[in-house]
Amino acid sequence: MNQRFYISVIILVVIIHLIEVNFIDGYTTNFVGRDFSILFQSIEGDSVRWFADHWIPYLTLLFIIIYIIIYPFTLWFSPLLFVLNNERKALRALAVGLVIVYTIALPFYLFFPVTNVYTYYSLNSAFSNTIPSMEHFFYATTTYNNCFPSLHVAMALLIAKSSSFVSNRRYQYFTLVTAAGVIISVIYLAIHWFIDVIGGIAVFIVASLIVDHSNSIEQEVIRKVTPSFRERKAINETVVELIKRVQNYCSKKGIEANPLLVGSVAKDTYLRDSVDIDIFVLFPKSTPRDLLEKQGLSIGRAILIEREEKYAEHPYVRGKFNGFDAEIVPCYRIKNINEKLSAVDRTPFHTEFVKKNLPIWKRNQVRLLKQFLKGIGCYGAEAEVEGFSGYLCELLIIKYGSFKRLIKNAENWEIGKTVIKIRDRQSQEFSDPLVVIDPVDPNRNVASALSKEKLSLFIRACRDYL
């Protein structure tokens, strides 16, 4: 996601806040019909009021400057600084954190009104005593009873947290000191109750945990390898067009076969820089093998450009379509795996199994695993790689639930002794370095192409990563 998106998110939250303060808050306050500051006072007593009774003019002015000038400066200058210096992590942290903070705080502001301390005690505010004109301006962006949790405290801490991702150490320290000053000022100026401050800190902690997750190395990698909306749209449109072309060609030539999208594009587990559109052309079981091969090749030759014929159990065509790598592979249409006439007949069943058993929110975990394997040279079941196939990656995430849980388990794998079953079914024994029983065909080891050397490398990489 680019900077424009994060700036738009920040602006949207600010607009929602201003609408809440100026148009909605009064209605919801009347609807609730009570103020909960009396509850806070019964718990805290007059501890915050004590500060109002002992204001020191110069100290009061200092905290007003922090509250009215320095804090708003960091609030508005920080996103500008992040944009100008291309501090993407910091900007993302601010946008994500702001959404979390306001999502948690808004229900309290609407339905749990808590009046600020000096208003509750009918005291003159520090603003009116020191800079009278500032109070009216200040309350254009807030209200007297949006005190719990303290948005000033949560946001001051969030700004400091976001700034921790920038390279400017002085600004990091400045925002950290400002956050401490804001926390002290809301108490000293008798604006917030202690419970408000604790609430603001609690909201920040939740937001901070989510920010740390969004800025983790895993999330950074996922963002880089996950296709954007536009990229998905282009791929999906290409798939639709390619399938139509195959259907039209078959209809025109009287070929009794149906195209089916399989592979990582069908399962939405492909990497953005490694898109292979796999179209399997399903022929009736009664089709002679030589006719299947002949007609399958004719379809690929007629539709793909920069094509080349490849050979697995039977020939297929690999080439380009609308700028994307594509394969057109003939196979037999079977109702169950026991009817298979060739190894590729399993593939549609593999695709269907993954689509049914891999939740949408775990697809990026597959992408993360694939990228990890690419980084150590272990991705790909081809003879020159002898690594992990895409289907194997998908099954491992289905089995363990996430990339992190997989590598925590993988560090304890023993070469030649580890057997992984996705389904608890009877299967034959294998002597491969790693055995992962195919849930579609229990007599097949999905990891059969994985060499001992590449498995050892993967296990070492998992231990190093952890």
Q: Where are the alpha helices (DSSP H) in 322-389?
A: 347-357, 363-375
Distance, first Cα to last Cα, the chain = 28
Name the average pLDDT for the chain.
94
pLDDT at site 425? 83
Whole-angstrom CA distances from 214 to 85, 201, 226, 361 are 20, 20, 14, 15
pLDDT at site 22? 86
Whole-angstrom CA distances from 299 to 241, 318, 319, 452 are 14, 11, 12, 39
How many angstroms separate the CA atoms of 465 and 369, rounded? 12
Read off the tokens for 221: 């990698």
How many angstroms separate the CA atoms of 269 and 273, rounded? 12
Q: What CATH number is given for 358-465 in this structure?
A: 1.10.1410.30
Q: Kindly report, residue by residue over 100-143, the tens digit of the pLDDT.
A: 999 999 999 999 999 999 999 999 888 877 776 666 666 556 77
Q: Is the peptide bond before 107 cis (omega within 30 degrees of 0)?
A: no
Residue 66 per-residue DSSP state:
I
Cβ-count burial 132-149 (b if 16+ within 10 Å, e if not) = eebbeeeeeebbbbbbbb
pLDDT at site 143? 76
- 3-state DSSP helix/strand/coil % of the chain, to nearest 5: 60, 10, 30
Report pTM.
0.79
Whole-angstrom CA distances from 23 to 8, 18, 141 are 22, 8, 12
pLDDT at site 330? 96
Q: Where are the domains of the chain?
A: 3-215, 229-344, 358-465
Q: Is 416 left (phi over 0), alpha (psi -120 to 50) or beta?
A: left
pLDDT at site 136? 61
For the chain, which ranges sit under pLDDT 50? none
How many angstroms separate the CA atoms of 35 and 103, rounded? 21
Q: What CATH number is given for 229-344 in this structure?
A: 3.30.460.10
pLDDT at site 424? 86
How many angstroms separate the CA atoms of 156 and 85, rounded? 21
